[in-house]
Amino acid sequence: MMNFEVKADPELWEKIGVDVTRLSKMREVLTDLYKKAFLSQKNRPEGMRYFDEVISNIHTGRIREILQAKEEGRPVVGTFCVFVPEEIIVGLEGVCIGLCGGSQGTIPDAEKVLPKNICPLVKSAYGFRIGRVCPYFQVLDVLYGETTCDAKKKNYELYAEELPTYVMEIPQMKRKVDEELWLKEVKAFKEHMEGVAKRSLTEEALHEGIKIINRKRKALQRLNELRMTENPPISGKDVLLINQISFYDDPVRFAEKVEALCEELEERVKRGEGVSERGAVRVMIAGTPMALPNWKVPNIVENSGGIIVYEESCIGSRYFNNLIPEESKDLESMLLNLTRRYMKINCACFTPNEERIQDILSAYERSKAEGIIYYSLAFCHTYNIEAYKVKRACEERGIPFLFIETDYSPEDVGQLQTRIEAFLEQIRERRS
């Protein structure tokens, strides 16, 4: 797509209250960044064209689709976390949009209100809202938060001054009493969503919502298996991009496009056709999510002779691992199964959290990775502290481990490149 650009529609943006001048400038920056990060790759799968088009229409075509949904009486729901039950939103014919921010450009806006020494993801997202440079914020009917992070939790109080906001209580442990509390929260969320949607969630509707989101997760699981093959047929950057897009694209269409891409990748695997040089160092990334357009570390890894074969993050395996059983069709059983599925997500917010350590070690073995890069955003205390336990587990097993703490600024790219190149070289030396 030599003529690729992130499209503009000033008339649409003005209609929904976007700062047209600022978004126009950000669109130009994103266009340039995307060309360099993605369209410069060699031997990309043909099926990636759809996802390029999604990015091209990120501020235009998809926004028009969402406005059409609003006209049809469908609620538009913003979320910040994989714990918000997407199946219930979709069952009520809602449009579910992930709002996490991955841009440095809006952080100065947020720092007029928020402390400087908190998570850049929280600041970036809030900056998008108060700077009026995110069309998705401008079309929301309701924002759903959760209590996985202290910075986000307090930030929801500020969002509530501008937007209808509802916060789910996510237990921080996984005992029987926590399951009971979680189930009550899921039921309360369902009731609140029914009020927003102005309709009841029937058994048939929830079952359909479960099937739709299960299909999306299955497609992503299939893609994840293909990237772990001996000669990966797709880059880690492209898989990350697809995972990022999964949070705001239409789920039915998205699943169809991922399935079609997987068919192409399966043919590539049969032919032994990969996207990286033979002998590329196989890297697993674990840690905090990389929200769009945060591609800094994957860019460095794959431009330095590595190939990312697994991501243990919320924009990665924690989002698509585990499905909800489709056999049960009564409301109570489906809500319980849904609750139990979400309880299997091993976020760093939980204590104790040995399941996450085991998840990382198991994924490392399955993906045949040769080293782990543990990526943490600055001031993300849960993931920063848990890095110690992950590092210790890796040292006990002789797994090469690199801890990276960074933000969205480009200022540390040179330093990160030096560290990552040294890490990859260390792994190459281990081979001999």
- How high is the pLDDT of residue 278? 84
Question: Mean pLDDT of all residues in the chain?
Answer: 96
- Taking residues 421-428, report their average pLDDT: 97
> Per the domain annotation, does 236 fall within a domain?
yes
- How high is the pLDDT of residue 209? 98
Q: Alpha-carbon torsion 316, 322, 327, 333, what sign?
A: negative
> Per the domain annotation, does 3 fall within a domain?
no
- Taking residues 401-421, report their average pLDDT: 97
pLDDT band of residue 2 (cuts 50, 70, 90) is low
- How high is the pLDDT of residue 432? 79
| 337-359 tens-digit pLDDT | 999 999 999 999 999 999 999 99
CB atoms within 10 A of CB 39: 13
> Per the domain annotation, does 186 fall within a domain?
yes
> Per the domain annotation, does 305 fall within a domain?
yes
Nearest to residue 403, comparing CAs of 371, 430, 360, 425?
371
Q: Which domain holds residue 120?
A: 10-431
Task: Give the E-state strand segments of 181-305 in sequence order.
Answer: 281-287
| 197-219 tens-digit pLDDT | 999 999 999 999 999 999 999 99
Domain count, the chain: 1
| 294-334 tens-digit pLDDT | 999 999 999 999 999 999 999 999 999 999 999 998 999 99
**Which ranges of 378-412 does DSSP label H, i.e. alpha helix?**
381-397
- Taking residues 247-256, report their average pLDDT: 98
| 44-94 tens-digit pLDDT | 999 999 999 999 999 999 999 999 999 999 999 999 999 999 999 999 999
* 231-262 burial: b if 16+ Cβ within 10 Å, else e: ebbbbbbbbbbbbbbbbbbbbeebbebbbebb
**Residue 168 burial by CB count (10 A; 0-12/13-18/19+): exposed, middle or buried?**
buried
| 168-197 tens-digit pLDDT | 999 999 999 999 999 999 999 999 999 999
Nearest to residue 306, comparing CAs of 420, 188, 190, 164?
420
* C-alpha to C-alpha distance for 323 and 341, rounded to whole angstroms: 7
Rg, C-alpha atoms of the chain = 21
> Per the domain annotation, does 398 fall within a domain?
yes
Say what the pTM is. Answer: 0.97
> Per the domain annotation, does 2 fall within a domain?
no
* C-alpha to C-alpha distance for 359 and 322, rounded to whole angstroms: 12
DSSP annotation of 153: H
> Per the domain annotation, does 254 fall within a domain?
yes
Nearest to residue 237, comparing CAs of 289, 286, 300?
300
> Per the domain annotation, does 1 fall within a domain?
no
